[in-house]
Each structure stands twice: as C-alpha cells, then as structure tokens.
Amino acid sequence: MKIVNMSFEEKWNKIMECDRSYDGLFYTAVKTTKIYCRPSCRSRKPKKINVEFYETISECVTAGYRACKRCQPEVEHNPHTNLVRKAAAYLINHHDKKIVLQDIADHVGVSAFYLERLFKEEMKKTPREYIENIRIDKAAFLLKHTKQTNLEICYEVGFHSSSNFYKAFRNVIGCSPNEYRNSKESTHAMERSRNVD
C-alpha cells in the first residue's frame, strides 16, 4: 500500500475538515472506542489525544480496531478508487517537485487523459488543482507553525515562482500569506490575553 508523508498535525487537520480526498490514504483510529474511520467520516470528532493514524485497514485491524458503521472504511465505493488513491498519494509525496500529468499517469499505469478523467470524477478536481491545494495546505501549515519566510515556504512546498505562490494562496485561502500569518499571530495574542485573565 502507498504511504503518505504527512505529519500527525496535517492528518488531524484533514479529519477535522472531513476531507474526502484523503480517504484510503490513511485511517483514523480512536483509542477509547476502538473504532477506525475514513478521514471524511462525519461522526463526532474524538479528542486529539485519543487518536492514532494508520496507513492501511489491516494495520487498524491488527491493532485491535473495528470498522466504523457510519463511514464503512472497509467498503470500496468505486472500482477506480485504488487507482485514484495511488495517484493522490503520489501527488502528496511529490508535492515539492515539478510534476506533469504524464508523470502521474506513468506511475499508476494508465494514459494521462484517462487518469485526469477518473481523478476529476472521483476527487471533484483535476490533479493540477489537487496538488495546488496540497501545496497551499502545506504552506498554511508552515506559516502557522514556523518562522520561515514566505519565499522559503514558497519553494519548500513546490512552487517554482513566488508570483504563482501568492496568486494561488490568495485564490485558495482568500488572503495573502502575510495577512494569513498576521491573522494567526493576532489570534494567538488574543488567546494568550484570555488565558492571563
């Protein structure tokens, strides 16, 4: 099975967003209920300290978890799901490199046209839109959790031009990276002042 290179925090954010595009790439297991779910499961969200992440269903079962009855992670809903998951995992793991559609198609073993059609059908976005969202998600995460400059983040997440980075960030997030970072800092300052009271 494919393994995605994501931190605990990044996976946690995806389950909080109920992001369907990460289904099958990893599974959420709740220690207190002994249940595992898809990232998109709409069930009540567990406490962060009670969560573990696994790459495969067999790892979840081996660890003693049973499938969620609501999201049914053990049931395949589409015969092309594995092919699309393999493409999505490739994009997640190679988001920092220059990727063309043919690279992804070669990796999963189908034509570029067929892959793009299947991917759009399953994920509701093209591979290009998907990787751009991955890059912007990573950039937002780094803006929140590091002191790196915007330019360093731009290149680290896979953009090859700062103008494309700023344009894509504004399109996806709705503000510039600086505005995003400053809003985060003001939010933390307000939280700190509340804790002092």
pLDDT in tens, 6-19: 889 989 998 998 88
Residue 43 — pLDDT band, cuts 50, 70, 90?
Answer: confident
- Please count the structural domains in the chain: 3
pLDDT of 192 higher than 50? no
CATH number at residue 16: 3.40.10.10
Task: Print the domain residue range for 178.
Answer: 130-196
Q: How far apart are CA 180 and CA 131, in angstroms?
A: 20
- For residue 106, what are the contacts with CB-CB under 8 A and spacing of at least 6? none
Whether residue 97 is contained in a domain is answered as yes
Q: Is residue 162 part of a domain?
A: yes
Q: What is the pLDDT of residue 184?
A: 61
Q: Are residues 109 and 148 in the same domain?
A: no
Residues 6+ apart with CB under 8 A from 176: 166, 169, 170
124-139, pLDDT tens digit by residue? 899 999 999 999 999 9
In this structure, are 145 and 121 located in the same domain? no
Confidence category of residue 179, pLDDT binned at 50, 70, 90 = very high
Beta sheet of 35-37, edge-to-edge order: 51-54, 27-30, 35-37, 66-67
Q: Residue 3: is its pLDDT beyond 80?
A: no
Does residue 63 share a domain with residue 86? Answer: no
Q: Which CATH number fits the domain that encloses residue 183? A: 1.10.10.60
What confidence score (pLDDT) does residue 188 get? 45
CA dist 12 and 110 (Å) reads 32
How do residues 94-107 score in pLDDT, each as one tens digit? 998 999 999 999 99
Structure tokens at 104: 């992804």
* HSE value, Cβ hemisphere, 13 Å, CA-based, for 112: 7
Gap between the Cα atoms of 45 and 183, Å rounded: 26
The predicted pLDDT at position 194 comes to: 37
Same domain? For 119 and 134 the reply is no
Residues near 1 by Cβ (< 8 Å), separated by ≥ 6?
Answer: 55, 56
Residue 189 has pLDDT above 90, yes or no: no
Indicate whether 26 belongs to any domain. Answer: yes
Please tell me the number of Cα atoms within 13 Å of 135 on its side-chain side.
Answer: 32
Average confidence (pLDDT) over 106-111: 90
Same domain, 143 and 166: yes
pLDDT in tens, 58-102: 999 999 999 998 888 888 766 677 788 889 999 999 998 999 999
Given a cut of 50, whether residue 28 has pLDDT beyond it is: yes
Q: Are residues 142 and 186 in the same domain?
A: yes
Residues 50 and 98 in one domain: no
What residues are paired with 52 via a beta bridge?
29
43 class by beta-carbon count within 10 Å (0-12 exposed, 13-18 middle, 19+ buried): middle
| Residue-averaged pLDDT of the chain | 86
Q: What global pTM score does this model have? A: 0.66
Q: Are residues 88 and 54 located together in one domain of the fold?
A: no
* Same domain membership, residue 106 and residue 53: no
Query: The tokens of 180 are what?
Result: 């995003």
Residues in the chain: 197
Q: How many CB atoms lie within 10 A of CB 75?
A: 8
Half-sphere exposure of 44 (CA within 13 A, CB side): 4
Same domain, 105 and 142: no
3-state secondary structure at position 32: coil
Name the one residue in this structure whose structure tokens are 């109920």.
18
